[in-house]
Amino acid sequence: MPAFHRIGTGANVLAGNARLAVRITGMAGLLLGCVPLYYLWRLAGTEHNPWPRRFLAGVGRVAGLRVQIRGERAGKGAFLLANHVSWMDIPALAAANGSAFVAHDGLASVPLLRRLCAMNDTVFVARHDRRSVARQIAQVRGAIRDTGALTIFPEGTTSDGTGLLPFKSSLLSALDPLPEGIVVQPVLLDYGCEAAEVAWVGQEPGAANFRRILSRRRRLDLTVHFLPPLQGEALASRKAMAVTARDALLAELAVTQRVTL
């Protein structure tokens, strides 16, 4: 019996490695197909290049992600405040709303990632450089105008998907005061009972989390809940936005957890 168990485990590892190889190959094929189309779109002089977001949405599909949408998506000019569980959040939101993203400047240190992020109109935030705040605010506002939707993860890092970390209101400096025509909308990413399995938390290296998710056999279901946009006093300051958005996400998360149970 122990020998059979070891064989079964070995077979599972081989199957997982095979799925990993197939999915990485599929993602590489997507990249090779989308990059030329991205540059052709730019040469045509057309605004709102869709190919980076289409690439990200394709990455999600290749990884086995199935996205369901609940609620009403805000139109152009949406600034989304979302909880953060996994790197899969990014292809999910790109598929759900065609969003670009705000990211910490550490990603910019990896040349390939920096280039891919730049193609997707990513705004890099230097959290500890107060001198660059004004420049970052201008970049955020410009990205919202150019892409129509921009997502930030106010927790500042990933959580385990069963709760929320405190929101860092400093990350919302670009919205204080709120630019005209911008809608601030909380978004809950709900992985249900799979949250703990896909969450990127603790000391797990990014490459290990990437490999673990792409080796999965089961489909990964994610529900994206677009909650009502903030209004009135909730928009008075960045601190008010952070508190109100977090409260809204916590309330929705409590509902989804009761339904799951």
Q: If pLDDT is split at 50, 70 and 90, which confidence band does 24 have?
A: very high
Note whether 158 and 201 are within 8 A (CB).
yes
Instruction: Enumerate domains of the chain plus CATH numbers.
Output: 2-260 (3.40.1130)
Question: Would you say residue 52 has pLDDT above 70?
Answer: yes
Instruction: Give the pLDDT confidence score for residue 193 in this predicted structure.
Output: 87
Question: Would you say residue 132 has pLDDT above 60?
Answer: no
Instruction: Give the pLDDT confidence score for residue 226 in this predicted structure.
Output: 97
Please report which helix (H) or strand (E) contains residue 62, including its range. helix 51-62
Note whether 185 and 144 are within 8 A (CB).
no
Question: Would you say residue 195 has pLDDT above 50?
Answer: yes
Question: Would you say residue 18 has pLDDT above 50?
Answer: yes
Question: Would you say residue 16 has pLDDT above 70?
Answer: yes
Instruction: Give the pLDDT confidence score for residue 5 in this predicted structure.
Output: 36
Instruction: Give the pLDDT confidence score for residue 120 in this predicted structure.
Output: 81
Nearest Cα to Cα of residue 233 among 224, 248, 243? 243
Interval 195-223 mean pLDDT: 88
Instruction: Give the pLDDT confidence score for residue 146 in this predicted structure.
Output: 65
Q: If pLDDT is split at 50, 70 and 90, which confidence band does 130 have?
A: low
Q: If pLDDT is split at 50, 70 and 90, which confidence band does 144 have?
A: confident
Instruction: Give the pLDDT confidence score for residue 107 in this predicted structure.
Output: 64
- Percentage of the chain lying above the pLDDT 70 cut: 85
**CA atoms in the 13 A half-sphere facing the CB of 237:** 6
Place of tokens 């993860």: 153
